[in-house]
Chains A and B, each alone.
Chain A
């Protein structure tokens, strides 16, 4: 049978199945609001109380006053349940050491990886700079940047987030923290070895999977060491209901382990199948690892900061399952025009457009939750990062869906436009959410406030303006590049030369982003080394005794 007919038949059957699932969900009441499930992140009596550990006492008071709503009067005098708060304290303590380790590694790789990224960016318009050694050439520096930020920064920060959030959401201390730390050590040994190997010219040559498979074994072993304690804690939890963030975080951890394992199988992937596997992995590392981690984080932190449950819990579940089903199949749009079966490109384009459903579910839910509360971003730096990231998720996903269309892809493919889009997703969305999450988590991990709160705002604006300049410049330059390449009457070199001013703007944006990372890393070091005034106000659950002010992992 013709492959086009098979595709249409498959789409028809899926639509029929979708209709039946919809009818079934209506009968089961799955689309009815479920405020009880949305409130499980709060202790009894806690709804209406803001929570931002990155704020000092005065800032918290301002945020609380700004967040007050008329209905809150009825709840006055109801303090949060002390027993539930105690469970949260125990959960935080059980994960503090591994979380600190993951975040410390993440920030180290962020600084190193973004410095490599800026170097690669500069080399695009200063090609004679740093050419004396092979490891300094663009191909290796760019790949070292990629490995350091994707695996070193985002993956470490994501693992820290999982290990910190799950015990909280499950109200159960982390079981097997030693195994988690062993896993973290293996993963970071793998990342360091991978960057060294790539610098030395030893690579497997698949995008995002450049590290040699022998080194990839460390990463797989590390993930397995972490999955065990996470699942064991999940099974032995003290709560019945699983909040939606748990779904996103646990599924993401399972997905990335399998994706990486299959992607790095030696001697299996060759020829056309290697290319399709490469983009099955390449897009899923974004769609089934970075995205669910960040979306899961927003679903926890945003309601927690403003003290209000998410608007529609069931809409968040719909978003999860549609993301799980559609996102896994979009990778083929990277190979439009390539020597792959035609139905595969079409399938990936259709599923790319279907991604509008989970993105719309998320956006409607967040807009509903923040409706009438947008002014709170003025008071909370953590909320600012979360809202910025959430908005960029919508923009990058919608842009990605449109970019998959053949007419757009024809211009944008093989240009800097795609690079701008990748940074909109990985930086403006994912990285900004992770910054916000770290600003929230660390005071609870270290029992110490951020010593210089103004640096948080400074870092936000440096990063936001930096990625803004980067994205706008590179998007315009990339589109013009694509149009020039499609015009047979223009010489190829013209398509290269016209991008130079935009590449320079990219370096300006990149320099601002690197500066923001240095501010972030310096602030982190100052906090870890106990610089700044000896305040413990924002470390909400710190007991009053001086002993409790010691670092959770030692004196």
Chain B
């Protein structure tokens, strides 16, 4: 193998696939599901 562009591009594509599968798609699937009455997510605090 002689091409560093293929290396960087391949690494990014594989990570993008993993991110889509484990982060983006689950988010899209559950974002509209409302929690049961009385159950609220902990608000984010800085």
A-B CB contact pairs (8 Å), 13 listed: A241-B2, A242-B2, A250-B11, A254-B8, A258-B15, A272-B30, A276-B22, A276-B26, A276-B27, A324-B11, A324-B14, A340-B26, A341-B29
CB closest chain-A residue, reference B21? A329
Knowing A270-B41, A280-B22, A341-B26 are in contact, say whether A240-B2 is a contact too (CB < 8 A): yes
Q: How far is the CB of A495 from chain B (nearest CB, A)?
A: 28
Other-chain contact of A250, B4, B14, B25 (Cβ < 8 Å): B4
Say which size band chain A's interface belongs to: 35 or more
- Residues of B in contact (CB 8 Å), total 26
> How long is the Cα–Cα vector from A142 to B11 in the complex, in angstroms?
33
A332 CA to B18 CA, complexed, in Å: 10
B28 CB, min distance to chain A CBs, angstroms: 9
**Central interface residue in B14, B25, B27, B29, by most chain A CB within 10 Å:** B14
- 5 A-B pairs with least C-beta separation: A328-B18, A280-B22, A251-B11, A324-B14, A273-B27
As a 0/1 sequence over residues 1 to 24 of chain B, the CB contacts with chain A under 8 angstroms (1 = contact) are 111100110111011011101110
Q: Given contacts A242-B7, A273-B30, A324-B14, list 18 more A-B pairs with CB under 8 A.
A: A37-B1, A241-B1, A242-B4, A250-B4, A255-B11, A258-B12, A267-B44, A273-B27, A276-B22, A276-B27, A321-B10, A321-B14, A324-B11, A325-B17, A328-B18, A341-B29, A344-B26, A348-B22
Residues of chain B within 8 A (CB-CB) of A325 are 14, 17
Give the A-B pair count, Cβ closer than 8 A. 95
Residue in A231, A259, A328 whose CB lies within 8 Å of B17: A328
A240 to chain B, nearest CB (A): 5
Task: For A263, give the chain B residue with the smallest CB separation.
Answer: B23
Flag whether A234 is at the interface (Cβ < 8 A). yes
Query: What's the minimum C-beta distance from B34 to chain A, rounded to whole angstroms?
Result: 11
Interface residues as binary, A318-348 with B (CB distance below 8 Å gives 1, 0 otherwise): 0001001100110110000000110010011
Query: Roughly how many angstroms separate A527 CA and B3 CA in the complex, as a whole number?
Result: 39
Chain B residues with CB under 8 A of A262? 19, 23
Given A266-B46, A271-B30, A277-B23: A254 touches B11 (CB 8 Å cut-off): yes
A residues with a Cβ closer than 8 A to B are: 37, 231, 234-235, 240-242, 244, 246-247, 250-251, 254-255, 258-259, 262, 266-267, 270-273, 276-277, 279-280, 284, 288, 317, 321, 324-325, 328-329, 331-332, 340-341, 344, 347-348
A232 → B minimal CB distance (Å): 11
A543 to B27, CA, bound (A): 60
In the bound assembly, the distance between CA atoms of A273 and B19 in angstroms comes to 11
Q: If A242-B2, A255-B15, A329-B17 touch, does A247 touch B7 (CB 8 Å cutoff)?
A: yes
A328 contacts B14, CB within 8 Å? yes
Complex Cα distance A421/B15, Å?
24
Bound Cα distance A258, B18 (Å): 12
Contact A280 B18 (CB under 8 A): yes
Least CB distance, B17 to chain A, in whole angstroms: 7
Q: Are A234 and B26 in contact (CB under 8 A)?
A: no
Do residues B23 and A276 form an inter-chain contact, with CB atoms below 8 A?
Answer: yes
Residue of B nearest to A267 (CB): B44
Inter-chain contact A317/B1, CB cutoff 8 Å: yes
> How many Å from the CB of A34 to the closest CB on chain B?
10
Instruction: Known A317-B1, A329-B22, A341-B30; judge A270-B15 contact (CB<8 A).
Output: no
* Chain A residues within an 8 Å CB radius of B27: 272-273, 276
Contact across chains for A270 and B7 when beta carbons are under 8 A apart? no
User: When the two chains form their complex, are residues B21 and A344 in contact, meaning their CB atoms are under 8 A apart?
Assistant: yes
**B15, B19, B22, B29 — which one has the most chain A CB atoms within 10 A of its CB?**
B22
B15: which A residues are within 8 A, CB to CB?
255, 258-259, 288, 328
Across-interface contacts of A280 in B (CB, < 8 A): 18-19, 22-23
Cβ of B22 and Cβ of A332 under 8 Å apart? yes
The answer to whether A347 touches B30, judged by C-beta atoms less than 8 angstroms apart, is no
